[in-house]
Structures are given as C-alpha cells and as structure tokens.
Amino acid sequence: TLCGQAYGAKQYDKLGVQTYRAIVTLTVVTIPISLLWVFIGKLLTLIGQDPVISHEAGRYIVWLIPGLFAYAVCQPLTKFLQSQSLIFPMLWSSIATLLLHIPLSWLLVFKTSMGFTGAALAISISYWLNTFMLAAYIRFSCSCKVTRSPPTIEAFRGVGLFLRIALPSALML
C-alpha cells in the first residue's frame, strides 16, 4: 500500500524508505517468531500432541528459521518491484529459484543424512537465493535507478504507522 502510494505520487525516495522500513520491521518481528519456532516441539507436546510427531515437527521447523528471515527481506523487495510494475524480474527470479530448488531438495533429502529436515533447509536456501537475486536486480538494474535509494535512519522512523497498516493486513491472511 505505502510503496504503491509513494510510486504513484512520484515520491521515489519514499519508496526506498518504505522498503527499508518494511525490511527492518519484518526482521525484528521475525525474531520472536523464530524463538517460538525453536521451542515449538516442546510446546506441541505441552498442549497434548503426540510427542514423536511434536519432536519431528520441531526438528523440521528449526531448519525453516533462516528462510523466515529471508522471507522478511524478500517480501518488501517484491512489493518494491510490484509497485513499479516490474513483474518480469520476479518471474525470472522465481523460475531460477525453482530450477535450483528441485535438485537442491533432492540432494539434501536423499544424498545427505539430513532426511526430511533437508527439505526445510532447501526451502530456506531457496528463499535466500530468491532474495539475493531480487536485491541484485534492484541494485544493478537501470529500471530501478530512479527509485533505488541508500538506507537511511529514516527507515527507523514511522515504524508505528507501518505496523498499524501491516498488522490488520497480516491478520486478514
């Protein structure tokens, strides 16, 4: 919402600030979520779930934590590109990620001792790969030259407004 408004109003510097603000805020929000995920196996057992399944779910989700942080960075980058109608970079990045994810999953699940946790690690690696590709596009593409801006302290201001808009949106999901 905020990225689209900034771009539509031709306030390109605000587009970058909103993107950085979203990255900072989502990364901070990801910290308590990841702490919850670390203990999810024990929490599931505590609420009466099967102990074996709870333990295995806990093992799996711990390997997803790096992907959670990647997702916190990738989503604002996606919104940055979407607000400018730059769809093809996201398409090509997603295709490249998929083409690498399939053999990576197979390798980590079947050719290492990781088993099913290798699938979670493959997801995390793939999220980071997609994030790095989008960030590289934004950094080096001529298409983003006008809207690209360096990180500033401004990204830390207005977090309250961002959360007031983001939380209801997140709850609707």
- Angle in degrees, CA 145, 99, 116, rounded to 5: 120
The pLDDT of residue 151: 84
Model-level pTM?
Answer: 0.88
Structure tokens at 56: 């295995």
Instruction: Find the DSSP H helices in the chain.
Output: 2-8, 12-38, 40-46, 51-62, 65-83, 88-110, 116-140, 159-172
Burial class (CB in 10 A: 0-12, 13-18, 19+), 73: buried
Lowest mean pLDDT segment, chosen from 78-87, 105-114, 150-159: 150-159
Give the per-residue pLDDT at 170: 66
Taking only the tens place, the pLDDT of each residue in 68-86 is: 999 999 999 999 999 999 9
pLDDT value at position 12?
Answer: 73
Write the pLDDT tens digit of every residue in 25-66. Answer: 899 989 999 999 999 999 999 999 999 999 999 999 999 999
Sequence-separated (6 or more) residues with CB below 8 Å from residue 5: none
Angstrom distance (rounded) from CA 160 to CA 166: 10
| Mean pLDDT value across the chain | 91
* Cβ atoms 137, 5 nearer than 8 A: no
**What per-residue confidence (pLDDT) applies to 172?**
64
